[in-house]
Structure 1
Amino acid sequence: MLTFLAKRLAWGALVLLLVAVITFFLSRVVPADPAAFLAGQNASEATVQRIRAEHGLDRPLADQFVAYMGGLAKGDFGDSIRTRRSVGADLAQYLPATLELLLVSFVVYLAASFSLAVTAAKRPGGWLDGSIRLLTMIGTGIPVFWLGMTLQFVFFYKLQWLPLGARFPIRDTAPPVVTGLMLVDSLLAGSLSAFVGSLKHMALPALTIVVNLLAVGTRMSRAALIQEQGRLYVRTARGKGLGPRPILYKHMLRNALSPILTATTMQFGYMISWVILVEVIFDWPGIGLYAYQSFQVFDYSPVIALAIVSTAGFVFINLLMDILYPIIDPRVQRVGS
């Protein structure tokens, strides 16, 4: 186990290093001057040069790279030109909102995709199976920005059921920050109204993510369940008189979990990538919106930090799944262990 973890961690560290190097040099290739954006249109050249010197942008590229990588080794992502704070402090402020949106979306996605897969797998090829596959494929085929704006138009403008965006009602008092997760902090404060308010604000962003990813999880879960239905142990269980529910949850589910976990792992990676668009559409105050606003003024450090944090999350999820595979299904052997 220790050897396996060491190899995976080494590969993960190498991936993070490559991402940091590539994003650093790509950000410097962009033909724009963040100091000029920060100084403003009517700023003098002396002002622009002073801002460049303050942020080390006037130094040779090699010196900037060495300084950035040295700070990164110490956990320092540099400073944001736009917010005039350290990127680490900004991430600590904005990351909880993104994590909460991702976790809620992922839980809803798991429950919805598995429920639809079970329903579809009961009668493969039937009208209900075909309808589920068609509707989920339509949801996945719709561009995420168009889907988000459509949901805003329907549920906010037409039906007036859900808020347009943001994370919490502006006129209400937010609960004291304990974890940074609005739903959890509302429960800790004992405020049901704050919990319901934050849940309403999260509904449309989470629904946008779930609908856009539902097809892959549903199809792979359905295929895994249908494959297990033809196994000998399932026919034996039916011959012994077991009902459909015990066969599904006590026997088929565990054997079908490996491909299901593979699908959900990949989808979580897509969630990390697409959360940027969703946060921009719904004005969700997370690291996606933070990076987008930074990119607009060519503030490099937050953009590089987002790439590194997103990659770290994806590496962690894959490592967790590699550890869980043999536990869930003993037939799976670790490669290279």
Structure 2
Amino acid sequence: MSRSTALRYYIAARLLLAPLMLWVITTVVFLLLRATPGDPVDALLGPRAPQTAKDEIRQQLGLGKPLWEQYVDYMESLLRLDLGKSLISQGQSVWQIIQDFFPATAELALFSMAIALVVGISVGILSASRPDTWMDAGGRLFGILTYSVPLFWFGMLLQLIFSVQLGWFPLGTRFPITLPAPDGPTGLYTVDSLLRGNLNQFFIALYYLALPCLSLGVLISGIFERIVRINLKQTLQSDYVEAARARGIPESKILINHGLRNALIPVVTILGLTFAALLGGAILTEVTFSWPGLANRLYRAIAQRDYPTVQGIVVFFAAIVAVASIAIDILNAYIDPRIRY
């Protein structure tokens, strides 16, 4: 079987498995929400509301049905791509909630990933290119710290230093409430401000993004640093690199043309897993910084026992991770011809 045919079979298998993965995630979330203590009707009406009013609301929301009926109803709605309506937000559809809040999360994730790639790859190169030096030791220490430090603690530390003590960065918002926010088709403030040619809004949006993105990006960068450092060290010790040195090729060209070309291939491989970690980290970052994104809205929905909103947002995030993983697998197969499926 040729490599292209094997790749097509692999992609087809992944596409067929993606709905199964989403079904498993949806089922687990559905059962966990109903197994944990608490009642969404109490969150809606308050614990002191009359029992008759609670029973009436429970019947209207379909919560009085047996569990298996609720599950069948939800799965039928999901097959129609209907994520339902929020129990708390006055019947607002979950799709509308995603549309309103996801751009803030996407912008946070994109800029955090950019910071993670730049910082992680740079530190990894410096560490691997100078083995057994203080830079190498510093790179290893950086990878350990960024992997082990709790994200919420690091975010609060940055807030305490740069926002509370120094007053350099704002807290708890995406754009100044005294200024009109960028309006455009994407919902990404940086992109929409550039589309309108408003550089002032663009730099203000970047200013408000800086601290949350730095918090999330730096900690995720440790993943890339460790991968680049390990693979670049192995590449620089290989036989064909030693042969290049023997021919008198400058070390800088060896590093760029021979070392980095092979050391960066695994970075593409782990991008899918890192993207999943990024969305998980976005929840902690948005809650810590009161960032008005979809992950923060998910946290509020969990606290309020808003079943449809929690289920819809989790399925949406899971679909994004599945699509991103498949796309990165395809990209990686084309970049690295050694991969076989």
- Taking structure 2 as the reference length, the TM-score comes to 0.93
Instruction: Output the CA distance in 1 between the equivalents of 2:26 and 2:318.
Output: 10
- Provide the residue aligned with 1:265 in structure 2: 272
- Provide the residue aligned with 1:64 in structure 2: 70
Residues 1:259 and 1:57: Cα distance change in structure 2 (over 3 Å): same
Quote the offset at 1:205 in angstroms: 1.0
Instruction: Output the CA distance in 2 between the equivalents of 1:178 and 1:266.
Output: 29
Q: Mean Cα displacement is larger for which, 117-126 or 263-272? A: 263-272
Instruction: Output the CA distance in 2 between the equivalents of 1:198 and 1:242.
Output: 45
Contiguous gaps of at least 5 residues in structure 1: none
- Provide the residue aligned with 1:119 in structure 2: 126
Quote the offset at 1:217 in angstroms: 1.5
- Provide the residue aligned with 1:169 in structure 2: 176
Partner of 1:82, secondary structure, is coil
Alignment of 1:21 with 2:19, yes or no, is: no
Mapped contact 1:257–1:328 kept (Cα < 8 A): no
- Provide the residue aligned with 2:3 in structure 1: none
Which one-letter code corresponds to 2:112 in the other structure?
S
- Provide the residue aligned with 1:95 in structure 2: 102
Match of residue 315, structure 1, among 322, 326, 332? 322
Quote the offset at 1:189 in angstroms: 1.7
Counterparts of 1:152-167 in structure 2, within 5 Å, are 152-167=159-174
Instruction: Output the CA distance in 1 between the equivalents of 2:27 and 2:251.
Output: 53
Which one-letter code corresponds to 2:8 in the other structure?
L
Quote the offset at 1:125 in angstroms: 1.7
CA offsets per residue over residues 158-197 of structure 1, 9 Å max, x none? 1111111211111111111320111101111221121111
Residues 1:28 and 1:91: Cα distance change in structure 2 (over 3 Å): same
Q: Mean Cα displacement is larger for which, 141-150 or 254-263? A: 254-263
Instruction: Output the CA distance in 2 between the equivalents of 1:252 and 1:139.
Output: 24
Instruction: Output the CA distance in 1 between the equivalents of 2:283 and 2:23.
Output: 22
Q: Sequence identity of aligned pairs in percent?
A: 37
Contiguous gaps of at least 5 residues in structure 2: 1-6
Match of residue 11, structure 2, among 5, 16, 38? 5
CA offsets per residue over residues 57-113 of structure 1, 9 Å max, x none? 111111111110011111111111111211111011111111111111111111111
Quote the offset at 1:277 in angstroms: 1.0
Quote the offset at 1:124 in angstroms: 1.2
Alignment of 1:75 with 2:81, yes or no, is: yes
Partner of 2:200, secondary structure, is helix
Mapped contact 2:183–2:189 kept (Cα < 8 A): no
Partner of 1:63, secondary structure, is helix
CA offsets per residue over residues 105-127 of structure 1, 9 Å max, x none? 11111111111111111111211
Residues 1:316 and 1:245: Cα distance change in structure 2 (over 3 Å): farther
Instruction: Output the CA distance in 2 between the equivalents of 1:236 and 1:308.
Output: 52
Instruction: Output the CA distance in 1 between the equivalents of 2:192 and 2:252.
Output: 37
Alignment of 1:137 with 2:137, yes or no, is: no
Instruction: Output the CA distance in 2 between the equivalents of 1:263 and 1:178.
Output: 31
- Taking structure 1 as the reference length, the TM-score comes to 0.94
Q: Mean Cα displacement is larger for which, 59-68 or 231-240? A: 231-240
Quote the offset at 1:237 in angstroms: 2.3
Instruction: Output the CA distance in 1 between the equivalents of 2:16 and 2:55.
Output: 41
How many residue pairs match? The answer is 334
Instruction: Output the CA distance in 1 between the equivalents of 2:85 and 2:311.
Output: 11
Quote the offset at 1:256 in angstroms: 2.0
